[in-house]
Homo-oligomer: A and B are copies of this chain.
């Protein structure tokens, strides 16, 4: 185990040279911000946040987050306007840049080969001041730096482990562990291996509260716990800097499950493979389809201009609803997959019976005469009347009808796009071939193969 950890650290710990380079870069950037702010007459404090500021970044992985913090008495519109103006002015001096949009606009520049995000925010001192999602980052950075207590390398090892097993990143299309969550876990439990050893305990207790918010702010913190339990989150980590927030709100059961199983496996059989898995050879989805004797139905649609955080849950909801609707139509769905612009279902067949048998009422019941007169063909089995009707037998026709007749509940922002989907059977476009293969083989969610 020790040997493995030493070898990992050698690979991921930034060199002295790298550290010095970043230090000087940060000094320069700070200078440019202060200079530009006074040129524009804007009152602002620059903060570095993120893994560089916390010294928990992996070697070679150093995007810089530079936050431009405005006093709390600046109105939001002014912050938006002045913030963007200042960020642009700074970026002009650095070189190439573009404006990006989250809750508020920010600027992404590149300076000396490093990506630098210039993000306007409020200069908050406590969770009570937090107004926008980014405001909390300064508090996070401060909290980690105050508590890390020299365990920065343990955090680096944990981050690399999470990356290696494929569960790092809290983005909505990953739903894994955020960097901040990794930092909190090491700070709370002591070391990389301590975190791994707690995988079972954590899922059994469900709640982690490093700053004792449940004592200090019992009503706020317990309502956070209740809310998150109701949403069936695998883990509730009350944010050390904000009792209203679950740091692991985006973590999915699947990603926690992979972490859970891989942790146990690593403790039994430590190896570099967990941190640096070899690139797996990708197979052909058509071969897999033949092996499985199943079929793949793919809907491809245009992506509307909304952020992934809004888009993906709507695609997921649509995929689930389509799966249910197809089940009611007699197609068995063996698996479900989706992405920004597609839904894929693995199905048992592409043609169903051309008739559907309708179960009617008991022949002596009040509803029987109605059923009897409304149907052209009626027969009896046991006590019941039955009839049949002709139905579309091809799944393409069935999906088409389901969409047209609003029998699939489609997320609001993608309704028109999904209804105009291309419907593909046992074939996917080139750029989805890998996706189709990792879906059909279940490599996408694999913990053992």
Contact = CB atoms under 8 A, between A and B. Distances in A.
A353 interface: yes
Given A293-B393, A364-B203, A442-B386, A353 B334 contact: yes
A260 interface: yes
Residue among A293, A349, A352, A372 with the highest chain B CB neighbour number at 10 A: A293
A99 to B, nearest CB: 39
B380 A445 contact: yes
Interface string A356-368: 0100000110000
A354 interface: yes
A351 B349 CA distance: 9
A379 B200 contact: no
Given A254-B380, A254-B381, A380-B257, A293 B348 contact: no
Contacts of A364: 200, 203-204, 257, 260
Contact of A351 (B293, B363, B381): B293
Given A294-B353, A353-B292, A364-B203, A258 B380 contact: yes
Contacts of A260: 363-364
B442 A377 contact: yes
Chain A interface, >50% SS class? mixed
A331 to B, nearest CB: 10
B292 A355 contact: yes
Contacts of A444: 379
A447 interface: yes
A446 interface: yes
Contacts of A393: 293
A266 interface: no
A388 B293 CA distance: 13
A301 B385 CA distance: 31
Interface residues of A, number: 49
A449 interface: yes
Contacts of A334: 353, 357
Contacts of A335: 357
A332 interface: yes
Contacts of A200: 364
A448 B294 contact: no
Residue among A253, A291, A363, A377 with the highest chain B CB neighbour number at 10 A: A363
A355 B292 CA distance: 5
A348 B332 contact: no
Contact of A448 (B234, B352, B376): B376
A212 interface: no
Contact of A352 (B291, B348, B381, B449): B348
Contact of A355 (B293, B349, B372, B381): B293
A375 B293 contact: no
Interface in A396-424: none
Given A253-B382, A380-B257, A375 B448 contact: yes
A261 interface: yes
Contacts of A386: 442
A376 B446 CA distance: 11
A379 B363 CA distance: 48
A425 interface: no
Contacts of A388: 442
Contact of A349 (B257, B261, B291, B349): B349
A276 B303 CA distance: 67
A377 B446 CA distance: 8
Contacts of A376: 448-449
13 contacts: A254-B382, A257-B383, A260-B364, A293-B354, A294-B353, A330-B348, A363-B447, A372-B448, A377-B449, A378-B446, A380-B447, A385-B447, A386-B442
Given A254-B380, A377-B446, A377-B449, 10 more contacts: A234-B383, A258-B380, A260-B363, A261-B372, A291-B354, A348-B352, A377-B442, A377-B448, A378-B449, A386-B442
Closest 7 CB pairs of A and B: A293-B354, A378-B448, A257-B380, A257-B363, A379-B442, A379-B445, A377-B449
